[in-house]
Structure 1
Amino acid sequence: MTRVEYLLVGYGIAGATLAAELRHRGHQVLVLDTLQPDSASRVAAGLMNPVAGKRFALAWRADELLTAATAFYRAQEEHLKQPFLRELPIIKLFSSIQEQNTMLARSADQPWQDFVPDPTGELPEIAGVQQEMGGLCIQRGGYVLVEELLTALTAEGLREGWLRHETFDWGRLVADPAEGFIYADQVHARHVVSCEGAAAVHNPYFRWLPLTPNQGEVLEVECAGLPAEVVLNKGAYVVPLGNGRLRVGATYRWPPFAEGITPEAREELSQRLQAMISLPFRVTGQRAGVRPAVRDRKPLLGTHPETPGVHIFNGFGSKGVMMAPRLAQVMADWLENDVELWPEVNIRRYFTLYSSLPAAAGPASSASRS
């Protein structure tokens, strides 16, 4: 019987950051993960953008989240001897005069100093970019090579034995009368944490939470001559991957949506790219993943209301790369019973939605949280 303190289910960016944080603190961790080449984390471009949306609002806790994220990915680079983080300016291109006016109206009351030094300044000319309407130059952004990071961490986990490729069945989790839980008669854990992304909609402990799968598609593109030192954003993002390669995304599809890639998404993203650049390009690939989205756009962290040993660290949507490292620290503090969760992400905000499940399909009986 394998004995650990924490059993984590899923190894996207949520599971990876939480596992790293718990292991860094000296805890015994086992991760069970079904390898999915087109999981949301592996498909995503890993964009970190402190100023987002048509309202040009500063992202929630932007400075704190970016600082922690940058430190985490740099630490992983040093640990794994491989580059993952590219810090690049993000050029937010305006689509209309209305967008220009919205930005100007908001610039006076936005704490942008560390991110947009000159919101009213003109953009420098960028070869191949259509920027007639102007835009913003956003600092402290960039992107993470998420797939490469997860591949390297997975190889380490498999080699060292703290990660296994195995499909987790919540129906095989039972409470240990002494303490903690036993999974499949093989693993004993004091705590079990759902980090399984959109699959959590089927989790018997947490299916009452307002988690909604959201499909996103991205294109792999070749385009010679476009500068590789900036990320472009105008209804879609354009991330330079080097050697004339770009990643363009992403679409947002709410249920019901078709599984896998679609010609409609290819056409939509191609048109959005065409609106940003004046250079010819060639689509070389297309991928689709399903994000775990939440109605208030804040992740889901916390402990099951009736089963204290079962927790969730999930619902990061399209901003997981930026949010997960800092929130992994917050979650670890909570699991160690030292610091209360931030109210914005605590699943207590949704406890009114909770109702006990039928015994046949419900969770295991309660166990001690500590």
Structure 2
Amino acid sequence: MTTYDYLIIGHGIAGATLAYELRRRGRTVLILDTYQPDSASNVAAGLMNPVAGKRFALAWRADEFLTAAGTFYRELEAAFGQQFFFETPILKLFSSVAEQNTMLARSADHPWQDFVEELAPNLPVAAGVRQDFGGVRIRRGGFVAVRELLDALAAEGTKQGWLQRETFDWNQLVVGSAGATYAGTIQARRVVCCEGAAAVHNPYFRWLPLTPNQGEVIDVQCSDLADTQVLNKGAYVVPLGAGNFRVGATYRWPPFALGITEAARAELTQRLANMTDQPFVVLAQRAGVRPAVRDRKPLLGMHPANPVMSILNGFGSKGVMLAPLLARHFADVLEEGAELWPEVNILRYRALYVAASQAVDFSS
């Protein structure tokens, strides 16, 4: 029997960042993960955008999350000698005069001034970019090469033995008041569930309102499109280098299609055509499923009846921005007894747990 402080299920952006934070604190960790090339973390373009939605709302605790994320990814870059974080302006292109007016009204107020670099009906010309109504350049954003980041961590974890590529079997888990055993060979003080959209099948946490949604992206070649910023107008266009870009993402609620769809390809190519007057060629298309939550806030906390089991999930489309700070916060909770932020605490859904527990005994 091998003993660990933590058994973590899943090596997406949530599990990877939490494991890194716990290992940095000297804790022993084992991650069990089935590699899925089309998982949400592997498909995502890793966009970090402090402004989101049609109403141009400032993201929740944007300054804190962006600061923590930048520090975390720079630390990993230094450790691996590889660039993962690309701090790049985001050019939000307006679709109408009404959008111009909305952003002008918002950008004059603090804390918007911290994120707005330039706003104008006529921005400086950028090669290949359509700017019919102008736009706004948003600073402190950018993107993370998520697949490359997770691959680097996974290679280290496999070599050092703290990551094992295998499918987790809930029937092999035995949970007690002081810890858990798995497959008769692994013992852990705590189990942390970071399996993304697959949490809908988690017997301990399926009472939570996790509502996965499917997203598709395309990779294109567009040699004459400027690659000095991320474009955003109904979709994002992230530069990948050498004239290649990732365009995404669609949103589809259940039932999901099996794999990629022609409808998503048509939608994304049209959205790209709305942003550039240059020809482009679609190189690849992929689909993944995001772990979204009803109130658009992540899910963190210990199981109400058995605190050995805990969850870090529900990051939706903002995983790369949210994960570093929330992993650090959750490590503080697990290790030091810090109080969970109420916005992310799973006990905000206690009524759902009470209803579910009438049919299932979670304590055994």
Structure 2 match to 1:368 = none
Q: 2:126 matched to which residue of 1?
A: 126
Matched residues, number: 364
Counterpart of 1:267 in structure 2 is 266
Q: In the alignment, is the contact (CA less than 8 A) between 1:208 and 1:355 conserved in 2?
A: no
Taking the aligned partners of 2:360 and 2:34, their CA distance within structure 1 comes to 22
Q: How does 1:171-320 map to 2 (within 5 A)?
A: 171-176=171-176, 179-320=178-319
Output the CA distance in 2 between the equivalents of 1:362 and 1:199.
21
Rounded to whole Å, the distance in 1 between the matches of 2:321 and 2:281 is 29
User: Relative to structure 2, which stretch is displaced further, 305-314 or 103-112?
Assistant: 103-112
Does the 8 Å CA contact 1:3/1:188 hold for their aligned counterparts? yes
Distance of 1:232 and 1:328 partners within structure 2: 29
Structure 2: runs of 5+ lacking an equivalent: none
Which residue of structure 2 lines up, in the alignment, with residue 5 of structure 1? 5
Cα distance in 1, alignment partners of residues 337 and 175 from structure 2: 24
- In structure 2, relative to structure 1, the CA distance for the partners of 1:209 and 1:359 (3 Å cut) is closer
| Counterpart residue number, 1:333 | 332
Instruction: Give the letter for the 1:46 counterpart.
Output: G
- Structure 1: tracts of 5 or more residues without a match: 366-370
TM-score, normalization by structure 2: 0.97
In 2: Cα distance, 1:186 partner to 1:364 partner? 22
The answer for the alignment partner of 2:60 in structure 1 is: 60
- How large is the RMSD of aligned CA atoms in angstroms? 1.6
Contact 1:204 1:361 in 2 (8 A): no
Tell me the TM-score normalised to structure 1 length. 0.95
2:156 matched residue in structure 1: 156
CA distance in 1, matches of 2:165, 2:342: 34
**Residue 125 of structure 2 corresponds to residue 106 of structure 1:** no
Give the Cα–Cα distance (whole angstroms) in 1 for the partners of residues 246 and 338 of structure 2.
Answer: 39
- Correspondence for 2:142: 142
Deviation at 1:82, TM superposition (A): 1.1
Please state if 1:94 is matched with 2:94. Answer: yes
Q: Give the Å deviation of 1:119.
A: 3.8
Q: Indicate the SS of the match to 2:98.
A: helix
Structure 1 position 34 matched with structure 2 position 34:
yes
CA contact (8 A) 1:57 1:110 kept: no
- The one-letter code of the counterpart of 1:221 is V
CA distance in 2, matches of 1:145, 1:2: 34
Query: For residues 162-188 of structure 1, what are the alpha-carbon distances to aligned partners after superposition, in whole Å with 9 as ceiling and x for unaligned?
Result: 0001111222211246x2111111110
